[in-house]
């Protein structure tokens, strides 16, 4: 019974965990490219210098926010700069928020200055400019296959945007119309991207009721209400967080909108309070009804010693170390969903062709940003080849079978979460088999004047042979694209290690068994037959007698190495000879003129 209860509890926990939405844990890094251009660096918790976007991942950051200015004086935060950073971020798997200021520089509660190029526009022209600018930037992202998940139409528009025409306190209708132009532009390019209206002072419920309520009553279209959260002092964070939670719940109750914290921050001198604030806001967001708490973004956590801004989560003085995150960043790990490991092949290359008998080195990179790798499994299709428990992760695959293989690797982290790599295709091509068919092994080839030509013939078991090479030991005799090669001007002598090497079109090589033969000038003994012999002397060499099969009752003559006949035998179907011979080399001549060499030890 107890076991049943435990299973039920485990299933409930699993269900509840899946029910908690993956909130955005984000960082606004609009200064990133500018800081990099100035030589700024960042180090991880171990002191290793890395790309900031990689370090942020260590803290469960899964989203990036980037601001857009219309025509900035130095190009930073302009369209191209934003596209460049967005491309980097999305390539690393980050979700993306684009924040339109509709200004050439900062837009916030104290200033909503129109872009210089729009200075003399009327309300209708301003609305069209908002639409055109928004679609222009978003289309530039789309051209790079980048889709933002959220787009802010205006930044901290407590009193509207594009002053004075869009100042909410004097003309809420114009403010609402500008929001609608931005909304329409976003949906025209990315229909599924959510549109945000962003107001600061998240604790101020009366401000939000006036601003958001005024927009809605004037027909404004948007999906998400965003807030900024900057407590006046670190000590006030708890009160501030509670007031903001009350405001969040009221916005959901009144307007049924989703909630985002687009900006949060505390001074770098208060990392503990900052961590607690971030954790509390995540907890509050996850507590909102109907999963309407979407996420939290720290505004420029990486901007240590930059333009006088101190509400950062990084330390380090220019020119000194450590340039590391403060404990504030650890707040983003609160109730963080486990992130699966990452894995990719180092070798072999995809679509590689190898030859039978080749060993294949399978090597991968595997890492887990919020834990550790417990093991890596290597697969051929669904067949497990090997499990490696230690880095570097690799497997030497000995002699894979001929054919196509689909290779993959699976990394499993310390929570048993798996990630499977990309698949590779490896083709193993058969090694050809080849046999030298002539001269016959241990045969004697007669020369004239101490020199002759020998025709080397070989036969391979494949029609896919691009080249046959003949070797004398390690020395190349010659090559051919047919089965035959003529070895010219061969002097008398013993040739003990003749081989043939066949190469297929895939580059696979097969080597024949070696043969030996002797070239000699034989006095009084003539090989008059051009036939290939099917008669063999065995065993050869021998310590005792020699045997011959299939003699067919012909006469067999035995000669010593000087060409002197020492015996003539009337052959039977099978015969034996040489039991009483002394050690030496003997020539066996058959009635049809064929000759073989017999060696007795």
Instruction: Name which residue leads in pLDDT, 553 or 565.
Output: 565
pLDDT at 404 over 70: yes
pLDDT at 197 over 90: yes
Residues 355 and 227 grouped into a single domain? no
Give per-residue pLDDT as tens, 44-65. Answer: 888 889 999 999 988 999 999 9
Residue span of the structural domain in which 450 resides = 430-521
Residues 422 and 388 grouped into a single domain? yes
Residue 440 within any structural domain of the chain: yes
Across 297-311, 564-578, 580-594, which has the greatest mean pLDDT?
Answer: 297-311
- pLDDT band of residue 320 (cuts 50, 70, 90) is low
Residues 181 and 300 grouped into a single domain? yes
pLDDT at 377 over 90: yes
Confirm if 27 and 297 have CB atoms less than 8 A apart.
Answer: yes
Residues 208 and 257 grouped into a single domain? yes
Residues 137 and 71 grouped into a single domain? yes
Confirm if 12 and 19 have CB atoms less than 8 A apart.
Answer: no
CA pair distance 172, 465, nearest whole angstrom: 83
The pLDDT score that the predictor gives to residue 6 is: 35
Confirm if 365 and 421 have CB atoms less than 8 A apart.
Answer: no
- pLDDT band of residue 395 (cuts 50, 70, 90) is very high
Confirm if 509 and 503 have CB atoms less than 8 A apart.
Answer: yes
At CA 111, angle to CA 108 and CA 113, rounded to 5? 110
Instruction: Name which residue leads in pLDDT, 434 or 318.
Output: 434
Residue 526 within any structural domain of the chain: no
Residues 389 and 405 grouped into a single domain? yes
Measured distance between the N- and C-terminal CA atoms of the chain, rounded to whole angstroms: 85
Least confident of 39-43, 83-87, 595-599: 595-599
Residue 477 within any structural domain of the chain: yes
Q: In the predicted model, what is the mean pLDDT of residues 5-31?
A: 58
Q: How many separate domains does the chain show? A: 4
Q: In the predicted model, what is the mean pLDDT of residues 217-242?
A: 97
Share of the chain above pLDDT 90, in %: 75
Give per-residue pLDDT as tens, 224-233. Answer: 999 999 999 9
Residues 382 and 319 grouped into a single domain? no
Residues 99 and 188 grouped into a single domain? yes
The pLDDT score that the predictor gives to residue 321 is: 59
Q: In the predicted model, what is the mean pLDDT of residues 136-146?
A: 97
Share of the chain above pLDDT 70, in %: 94
Confirm if 381 and 401 have CB atoms less than 8 A apart.
Answer: no
At CA 239, angle to CA 198 and CA 295, rounded to 5? 35
Q: Residue 465 CA to chain centroid, in angstroms?
A: 36
CA pair distance 400, 385, nearest whole angstrom: 11
Residues 472 and 329 grouped into a single domain? no
Residue 85 within any structural domain of the chain: yes
Length reported for the chain: 601
CA pair distance 236, 301, nearest whole angstrom: 20
Residues 171-175: contacts with CB under 8 Å, at least 24 apart:
172/214, 172/215, 172/217, 172/218, 173/218, 174/123, 175/214, 175/215, 175/218, 175/220
Q: Is 19 helix (H, G, I), strand (E, B) or coil?
A: helix
Q: In the predicted model, what is the mean pLDDT of residues 30-37?
A: 98
End position of a domain, from candidates 413, 429, 445: 429
> What Å distances lie between residue 97 and 302, 440, 571, CA to CA?
17, 80, 98
pLDDT at 276 over 60: yes
Biggest CA-to-CA distance, the chain = 132
Residue 527 within any structural domain of the chain: no
pLDDT at 188 over 50: yes
Q: Which residue's entry shows tokens 């279209």?
A: 221
CA dihedral 322, 328, 332, 333 (to 10 degrees): 70
- pLDDT band of residue 571 (cuts 50, 70, 90) is confident
Helix (H) or strand (E) holding 3: helix 2-19
Residue 324 within any structural domain of the chain: yes
CA pair distance 436, 515, nearest whole angstrom: 8
Instruction: Name which residue leads in pLDDT, 409 or 445.
Output: 409
pLDDT at 20 over 80: no
Closest CA to 74 of 130, 31, 111, 129: 31
- Around 332, how many Cα atoms within 13 Å sit in the side-chain half-sphere? 27
DSSP designation for 581 = P
- pLDDT band of residue 553 (cuts 50, 70, 90) is confident
Q: Which residue's entry shows tokens 């089965």?
A: 483
Any idea what the CATH number is for the domain that residue 49 is in? Answer: 3.20.20.80
End position of a domain, from candidates 429, 453, 479: 429
CA pair distance 105, 103, nearest whole angstrom: 5
The pLDDT score that the predictor gives to residue 1 is: 35
Any idea what the CATH number is for the domain that residue 544 is in? Answer: 2.60.40.10
Residue 6 within any structural domain of the chain: yes
Residue 547 within any structural domain of the chain: yes
End position of a domain, from candidates 429, 457, 491: 429
Is the peptide bond preceding residue 541 cis, with omega within 30 degrees of 0? Answer: yes
The pLDDT score that the predictor gives to residue 21 is: 46
Residues 401 and 259 grouped into a single domain? no
CA pair distance 309, 47, nearest whole angstrom: 23
Give per-residue pLDDT as tens, 337-370. Answer: 777 899 999 999 999 999 999 999 999 999 987 7
Residues 445 and 455 grouped into a single domain? yes
23-42 as b/e, with b when 16 or more CB fall inside 10 Å? Answer: bbbbbbbbbbbbbeeeebeb
Residues 545 and 571 grouped into a single domain? yes
Secondary structure in 3-state letters for 101-162 = CCCCCCCECCECECCHHHCCCCHHHHHHHHHHHHHHHHHHHHHCCCCCCEEEECCCCECECC
Q: DSSP letters along 449-509, please?
A: TTEEEEEEEEEES-S-EEEEEEEETTEEEEEESSSEEEEEEEESEEEEEEEEEEEETT--E
Q: Residue 525 CA to chain centroid, in angstroms?
A: 72
């Amino acid at each position: 019974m107890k076991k049943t209860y435990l299973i039920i509890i485990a299933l409930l926990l699993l269900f509840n965990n899946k029910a908690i939405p993956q909130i955005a844990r984000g960082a606004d890094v609009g200064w990133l490219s500018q800081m990099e251009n100035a030589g700024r660096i960042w180090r991880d918790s171990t002191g290793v210098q890395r790309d900031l976007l990689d370090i942020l991942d260590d803290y469960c950051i899964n989203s990036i926010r980037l601001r857009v200015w219309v025509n900035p004086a130095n190009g930073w935060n302009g369209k191209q700069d934003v596209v460049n950073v967005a491309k980097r971020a999305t390539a690393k798997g980050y979700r993306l928020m684009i924040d339109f200021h509709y200004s050439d520089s900062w837009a916030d509660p104290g200033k909503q200055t129109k872009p210089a190029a729009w200075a003399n526009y009327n309300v209708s022209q301003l609305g069209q400019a908002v639409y055109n600018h928004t679609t222009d930037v978003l289309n530039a992202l789309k051209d790079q296959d980048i889709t933002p998940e959220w787009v802010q139409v205006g930044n901290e528009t407590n009193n509207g945007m594009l002053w004075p025409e869009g100042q909410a306190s004097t003309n809420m209708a114009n403010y609402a119309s500008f929001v609608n132009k931005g909304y329409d532009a976003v949906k025209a390019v990315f229909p599924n991207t959510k549109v945000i209206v962003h107001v600061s002072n998240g604790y101020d419920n009366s401000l939000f009721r006036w601003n958001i309520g005024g927009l809605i009553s004037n027909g404004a279209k948007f999906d998400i209400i965003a807030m900024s959260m900057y407590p006046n002092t670190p000590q006030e964070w708890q009160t501030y967080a509670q007031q903001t939670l009350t405001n969040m719940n009221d916005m959901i109750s009144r307007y049924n909108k989703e909630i985002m914290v687009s900006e949060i921050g505390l001074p770098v001198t208060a990392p503990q309070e900052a961590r607690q604030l971030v954790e509390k806001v995540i907890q509050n967001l996850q507590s909102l009804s109907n999963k309407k708490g979407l996420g939290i973004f720290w505004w420029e956590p990486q901007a240590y010693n930059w333009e006088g801004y101190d509400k950062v989560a990084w330390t380090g003085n220019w020119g000194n170390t450590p340039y590391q995150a403060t404990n504030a960043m650890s707040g983003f790990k609160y109730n963080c969903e486990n992130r699966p490991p990452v894995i990719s092949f180092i070798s072999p290359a995809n679509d590689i062709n190898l030859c039978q008998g080749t060993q294949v080195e399978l090597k991968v990179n595997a890492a887990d940003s919020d834990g550790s790798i417990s093991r890596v499994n290597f697969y051929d299709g669904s067949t497990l080849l090997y499990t490696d428990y230690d880095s570097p992760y690799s497997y030497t695959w000995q002699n894979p079978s001929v054919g196509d293989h689909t290779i993959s690797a699976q990394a499993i982290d310390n929570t048993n979460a798996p990630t499977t790599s990309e698949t590779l295709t490896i083709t193993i091509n058969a090694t050809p088999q080849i046999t030298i068919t002539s001269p016959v092994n241990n045969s004697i080839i007669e020369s004239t004047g101490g020199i002759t030509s020998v025709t080397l013939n070989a036969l391979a078991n494949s029609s896919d042979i691009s080249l046959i090479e003949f070797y004398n030991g390690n020395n190349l005799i010659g090559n051919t694209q047919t089965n035959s090669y003529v070895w010219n001007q061969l002097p008398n002598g013993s040739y003990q290690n003749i081989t043939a090497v066949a190469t297929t079109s895939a580059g696979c090589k097969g080597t024949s068994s070696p043969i030996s033969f002797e070239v000699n000038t034989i006095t009084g003994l003539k090989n008059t037959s051009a036939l290939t012999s099917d008669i063999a002397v065995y065993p050869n060499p021998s310590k005792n007698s020699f045997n011959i099969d299939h003699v067919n009752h012909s006469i067999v003559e035995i000669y010593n190495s000087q060409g002197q006949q020492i015996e003539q035998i009337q052959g039977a179907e099978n015969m034996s000879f040489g039991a009483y011979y002394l050690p030496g080399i003997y020539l066996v001549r058959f009635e049809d003129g064929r000759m073989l060499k017999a060696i007795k030890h």
